[in-house]
Every structure is written in structure tokens, then in C-alpha cells.
Structure 1
Amino acid sequence: MASRFQQFQTKTIQVSRLVTKNGGPYYKEMKERAIQVSQLVTKNGGPYCREMMERAIQVSQLLTKNGGSYYRELMKRNKTYIKEPSSVETCQLLAKQLFYTRLASIPRRYEAFWKELDSLKELLKTKEAWNIENASMAALIGVECYAWFFGGEIIGRGFTITGYHV
């Protein structure tokens, strides 16, 4: 099994190197090597691999047959949201409109934030309003905030927990 996997891995590496190095002039050789890889996988991969390839072919045929009609139907349904004529200037205009609309909504969001904060302060002042449901919801939100913070830290460090690439 290990030798089959090594064969597959070396053939895949050869194809990827050929593609990245030479690109267009060696298209026939790339195609032949890709066919060799797929034959190797189907021959040695067992019945599941053949079934998976057959299903992938069915899905690709379905998409090529029905993809265009789905796209036309989607465009027809959402015609009210399409700005004509579609050009670079139109896209830039819509981007500016979106930016300034969002900018104009800052004062309302700022006021809503302070109202929410005031209602939270009132909730914390009165002990009668505290029950298990409110406490569990507050704990859940706190854990979620901590998880987002921790996830952001990991992403910021390049997906390492300690900051070192081990």
C-alpha cells in the first residue's frame, strides 16, 4: 500500500512541477501524466475510488447541462438588483454609495450601542432580573467573545498556538 501511495505521490509531484515550470509548451506531456495519475488511482484505489470518480463525472455533467439555465433563472429573479449599464464606473459609484451609506449610519449605531449598554447596566443593578437563563446567556456570550479573541490571536500568529513554528 505504501508503494502505491508513493507512486501516486511522485507522479503528482512530477505533474505539478511540470505545470509550474513549463506551463503551455508541455501541455501534451502534462495531460499524459495526469491521465497516468488518474489511471493509477483508479487501478489501485479500489471500488470506492472508481465510484467517487463516477459520481464526480455525473456532477460535472449535471453542472455543465443545467448550470446555464440556473444562472439565467437567478439573473431573471434578481433583475431589480442589477444596475444597468454594468461598467467600472457603475461599480465605483455603487461602492461609494455603499461606503457613505454605512458612514452615515454610524451615529444611529453609536446611539443603539449606548442604549444597549445602559440596559445592561440596569440589568446588573437589579438582582430580581437575574435568573439562570440570563446568567447562562451572559456566560455563553463571554465564552464566545473569548473564543473569537483566542481564534484571532492564533490566526494573527500564523496559525500556531505558541507563536513558534514547530
Structure 2
Amino acid sequence: MFKARALFSIVAIVILCCISQSCAYRLDGISIPAGLKTINVEYFENNAPYVLTSLSQSVTEAIKTRIRSQTSLSIVRGEGNATMSGSIVGYSIGPVAVQATNTNTAPPIASKSRLTITVNVKYVNDIDKKLNFEQSFSRWADFSGDIGSQEQKLVAQILPEITEDIFNKAFANW
């Protein structure tokens, strides 16, 4: 009897908190203001010094897919209650670990390299201006050998991580 009453009290408090905050809270940590129904996700241009041709479309679609699968928001073109825009500002490959060569004249070679992707995002929420932000998000993946044969796999590994970071900043207040 006491456990049922305590559980009921906890549930009632959570419901009252949700109502008093005028936000729709979900148990998965997503926090969307009650009046936020639509979002415009603009095309993410690739402004990085090195341009992977498919990356703009991939980033844009990954963000839209995450919003569709994790929220009840409608993605619209043009006017929405919120807008997410941005660009890819970094796509770089650099050494993480080096290995010495057998000759004195040859420079060391990279034994492990890192692909880093950086996306700058601007989020404007017309319902709750406190949630607006402009921020860069970077993620990377390490690899050995030549990038050519691994590039698509590495990008496919990095995109969900960057998308999750962007989504959490916009909708989970992280």
C-alpha cells in the first residue's frame, strides 16, 4: 500500500513539473517546448578545405532522420517554429601515431591516422529563445593505411556520432 502511494506521488510530481514548465518531457531525455511543432532543417553546405562531394547531403539527411525518428516534429521547408542550419567547416586527415623508418634520410610515416569532421550548427527556436545556439561539433575516427579504401566507412562511423551531439544540444539540453 505504501509503495503504491509513493509511486503515485512520484508520478504526480513529474506530471506537475512537466505542466508547470510548459514543456513536453520524455523519459529518454528529450525536451521539446510544448508549442514547437515544426522545424526547418536547411542544407548543410560543405565549406571545408577538402570537399567530399556526398558529405553535405549525408549530414543534412542524417540530422533530418534523427529528428524524424526521435521526435514528433514535422520537418518543413521555409517557415518553421525552429530552424537548424549550418555548414561543414572541417574535413581533415592527420597523423595520430608515427613509426620510424629504416633509413636515416626517410621521414617517419604515420602508422595511424585520424579523419576529423567538423560541422558548425546554428539552431534558432522561435518558441523558446533560451534554447538558441551556434556551436561547432567535431568527431573523428582513427584508421591505419590508405584513406581511399576506408573513407566511406569512416564517414559512416562519424556521422551518427556528430548527429547525436547536435540532436542532444538542440533537444536534450546537453
* Length-normalised TM-score, structure 2: 0.25
* Length-normalised TM-score, structure 1: 0.26
**Higher strand content, 1 or 2:** 2
Larger Rg: 1
